Chains A and B, each alone.
Chain A
Amino acid sequence: MKSRILGIKFFVIITISVLSIRLFSIQIMDTDYQEIANRNVIQQGIEYPYRGLVFDRNGKLLLYNDPVFDLMITPKNVDLSDSLLIKKLLFITQREFDQAYLKARSFSRYLPSIFYKQLSNEKFAALQDRMRDLEGFNINSRTTRGYAEIGLANILGYVGEVTQNQLNRDTTGYYKSGDNIGITGIEKTYEKSIRGLRGVKYRNVDVQGINMGSFENGAYDTLPQPGQNLVLTIDGALQKYAERLMEGKIGSLVAIDPSSGEILALVSAPSYDPSLLSGRGFSQNFVTIQRDSLKPLFNRPLQAMYPPGSMFKTIQALIALEQDQVQADEIITVNGKLIGDHAPPGKYDLERAITKSSNNYFFKVFRRVIQQGEHLSPFIDSRMGYKKWRDYVLQFGFGKILDIDLPNEKAGFVPSLKFYDKIYGKERWKFSNIYSLSIGQGELLVTPLQMANLGVILANRGYYFTPHLVRKVGTESLDFSQKSFIEIDTGHFESILEGMQALVSVPGSRAYIPDLVFCGKTSTVENPQGLDHSGFMGFAPRNNPKIAIAVYVENAGWGARAALSTASLAIEKYLNGSVKKKWLENYVLKGDFQDAKPE
């Protein structure tokens, strides 16, 4: 018996030892369980940063983050027999309630999901007062981009969730699925500065995934860093006014401060309401906007390419003067037969040729520039002349992008030697093949931005700055002080400016602004597809210029009507703060230029 008693005691001790050894193996030897336990309870949550705010040059807020309120539901906690109040507050039917409830329930019984998206202010206010009576419901806020104005869509751009393609191409490894990314506009160009930095929050969750508070009191959490604010060069008031003027038209308006290259206004018409591409309605609205036959997503000032037309005569004059092929006071008699012309035949000096926009005068001048008589063969002579001429034109910023801080800028087109070789064969083309260029027609293509930049060059008498939209990123001012000079003597400008002034600053004329001397040149751009486009380029005041401007209005006929009127109003608005010529404003707003057939 003694041995049995001992045996039983021994059995107790052995059993406890076995259990203790087993515990030792799973608690101390095997560290997997600790990892699994952490995976069970620690959940990593991404805290999305606020994107930077965007202000205009005067500190007016243009783009911000808009809080949006969603009503969330946790199905487990909802008393289904008592859904009267929620239906009343949201104005929904029993069927709508059931649908939303079942959808949330199929996602999870324990985790909150959206019951009603983007509450209106009235519904939000009504709900907020009664939240205590609404067991199982809570209000969740998130942000979408908010726009202070309906306009500026082509400047600000929009954001969207990063796509798989973008994730694959992202070499920095920053982006993760679910992040927002700037898709166009400055949202895209300044993405890195404006996006901020994601934060991470570790939290404990229970078996149903319900948040049980922060992990280790947030010792490992990082706060999201809001994106840097941007200060634009845009003048909000001018931009808004210009957008109003361009309403109902197809075209562009670009205004630049000649002393800095800062863009004051950049209008693309027609445009769209940027808030349509913010938040939940994105995909639906995007398709609608994209299918619009007037292409509101097309950023015309940077992407639309037109022949420059008569505005180009200013460049022709400068190049000819610089190459000594013509003198400003040289009188050239034209009979009006070399090329179609609206200017009368007669005697022209440079100033008058600009003012009257004499096609025949510039035909003759351009012929001298192209055929300088340096070679016996007219073909080779033309080729040499054209090459020199083209080099000058490129200096004005044509045929290449100006590198504005917006995506998808177009370069325009200045035909190369090879281009003509391909059409006519090498040394088989001469002045007579390319004379259309003399009046800014033919194969030349420019963007409205490049034309406004020409206004800057004329205003500065020979140089420009890289046109740009952003002044300041965060607290840091951006440096755009680098000047691009054109190799043309400053003295050559005055007679051209004289002609431009005489065109627009004549008391009693449509564009005249009292007490303001300004210079400009119109174009009636030939359009084989329909009515001519109306174009204008200029700057003001003549001395110490403050604004350079280019306007294109498609199918509006005479440059002297739609484009010049619009530009004149914008200049007056910007320099004087208000517009006195209400009749002109009404004329432009009415936008009925269709009767404007060449007189």
Chain B
Amino acid sequence: MRSQNRYQLDTLSVVYFLSLVMLGWINIYAADYNLDGNTPFFDLNQSSTRQLIWIGASFFLIAVIFILDYRFYDSFGYVIWGVSVFFLLAVLFFGKEVAGSTSWFEIGFIKIQPSEFAKIATAIGLAKYLSSQNVGVSYKYKLGISAFLFSIPMGLIIMQGDLGTAMVFGSLILVLFREGLSAKLLFFSFYAVLLFLLTLLIDQWILLFMVLALFLIGLGLFIKNRKALIFIFWLSILSCGLIKSVDFVLNQVLKEHQQLRVMSLINPNADPLGIGWNVMQSKIAIGSGGFMGKGFLKGTQTKFDFVPAQTTDFIFCTVGEEQGWLGATLIMILFGAFFLRLLTIAERQKSRFVRIYGYSVVSIMFFHFAINIAMTIGLFPVIGIPLPFFSYGGSSLLTFTMLLFILLKLDSQRMEQLEH
């Protein structure tokens, strides 16, 4: 009786995990299916077959995680973070450049992407720091160190040229919010992102005029309140600065292929055979699915290769085309239920480390989920991040499995965890 209480795996999460992996595999099979009917059952040329091997590998990894002592992650938190930063640095010098990004180590057959491992390491490192006893340390100092912990890997990954993966680390701001980050800062982050997107969509002079108009309205409304006036003043100055700097970022900082991806979000129809092709074809595939979808293995847009990267970043096209709005929404609800479950698990921890780690897991996975789907339906630029458990690929499947099962391992032994 006692041992059961002490060691309890969260079955519901495991069921969600297995369902997502299984549905993901089915859609990879469908996306990769040859319509002529000559799809061999076990052929390593098929993504679906290779994905089976990766699923097997992830089960092996789960076993390893459960054998390892749960205290490992807490105790070696900084070491894990440090090792991952070391590898991120090393890949800049010794990595192999693929499609404009230098994010892979190639050792014989094996390709390793340190940025994937960095997601787990950063989550652990951040959890380790935030859960540590640090009485007497100022809020600003704590915030600064936290920001340092995820900006270092983020910066290194940007240097590799993989902006999409780097953006994932930004999602950890949600963890900070849970741990007491001021709502104002979160609001400013969102405001900055919103203004950034608006700058892409609307002519910057119109936007500047709108800021000016809002400033004047604010001036009229809060003429008596000096504090509010100062706030409005600085906000307007910052807004103008951001709007002007977007132009600079677009033309000076981003690489050409990244610029094109951002531009294609603005008007995918302008250049249907160029970079906008991905988004256009992806929307056509999903849009043609209708309410019920075309049926399993009946999708034409994905089968005939109209959608690029259909088994990886654009796997959701197959869901949308073959399962329709109903299937896509059901799968999103499944994801939603899964995320809410993980939040519940995070909240029931006595250990702050596990709770913070739990939030990190949800933030990272949710960011992947939301941005991946948003980019397939033209709500976000194509930044090339996978859909958790769905997209074909060993690194991403193993990373998400590790993220999840380290949490479930820690949760299973929560009765033994010390309270910090």
Query: A interface vs B, CB < 8 Å?
Result: 4-5, 8-9, 12-13, 15-16, 19-20, 22-24, 26-28, 30, 32-34, 36-38, 40-41, 204-208, 212-213
Contacts and interface: CB of A to CB of B under 8 A. Distances in A.
A20 to B, nearest CB: 5
B290 interface: yes
B291 A27 contact: yes
A212 to B, nearest CB: 6
Interface of B: 35-36, 174, 177-178, 281, 283-291, 300-301, 303-306, 320, 324-325, 328-329, 332-333, 335-336, 339-340, 343, 347, 366, 370, 373-374, 377, 379
A412 to B, nearest CB: 64
A19 B177 CA distance: 23
A176 B201 CA distance: 45
Contacts of B328: 20, 23, 27
A5 B374 contact: no
Contact of B288 (A4, A22, A37): A37
B284 A20 contact: no
A5 B287 CA distance: 35
B288 to A, nearest CB: 3
A479 B314 CA distance: 69
A12 B304 contact: no
Given A19-B373, A40-B301, A206-B305, A8 B343 contact: yes
Given A8-B178, A27-B325, A33 B287 contact: yes
A5 B178 contact: yes
Contacts of B324: 27
A41 B325 contact: no
A41 B35 contact: no
Nearest to B283: A26
B332 A40 contact: no
Contacts of A28: 290-291, 325
A116 B335 CA distance: 57
Nearest to A13: B336
Contact of B300 (A9, A15, A24, A37): A37
Contact of A207 (B283, B304, B320, B339): B304
Chain A, interface SS category: helix
Contacts of B289: 27
A12 B340 contact: yes
Given A12-B339, A19-B370, A40 B36 contact: no
Contacts of B177: 4, 8
Nearest to B288: A37
B74 to A, nearest CB: 22
A19 B333 contact: no
Contacts of B291: 27-28
Contacts of A26: 283, 286-287, 377
Contacts of A41: 300-301, 304, 306
Closest 8 CB pairs of A and B: A33-B287, A37-B288, A206-B304, A26-B287, A27-B325, A41-B300, A207-B305, A34-B288
Contacts of A9: 340, 343
A12 B366 contact: yes
Contact of B336 (A12, A30, A34): A12
Nearest to A4: B178
Most buried by A among B291, B325, B335: B325
Contacts of A207: 304-306
Given A20-B332, A37-B284, 4 more contacts: A12-B339, A16-B336, A206-B303, A212-B35
26 contacts: A5-B347, A9-B340, A9-B343, A12-B336, A12-B340, A13-B336, A15-B366, A15-B370, A20-B325, A20-B332, A26-B377, A27-B287, A27-B291, A28-B325, A30-B287, A33-B283, A36-B288, A37-B288, A37-B301, A40-B306, A41-B301, A41-B306, A207-B305, A207-B306, A212-B36, A212-B303
A16 B304 contact: no
A61 B305 CA distance: 49
B365 to A, nearest CB: 11
Contacts of B370: 15, 19
B335 A16 contact: yes
A41 B305 CA distance: 10
A541 B211 CA distance: 110
A20 B36 CA distance: 33
B336 A23 contact: no
Contacts of A24: 325
A13 B332 CA distance: 10
Nearest to A27: B325
A22 B286 CA distance: 11
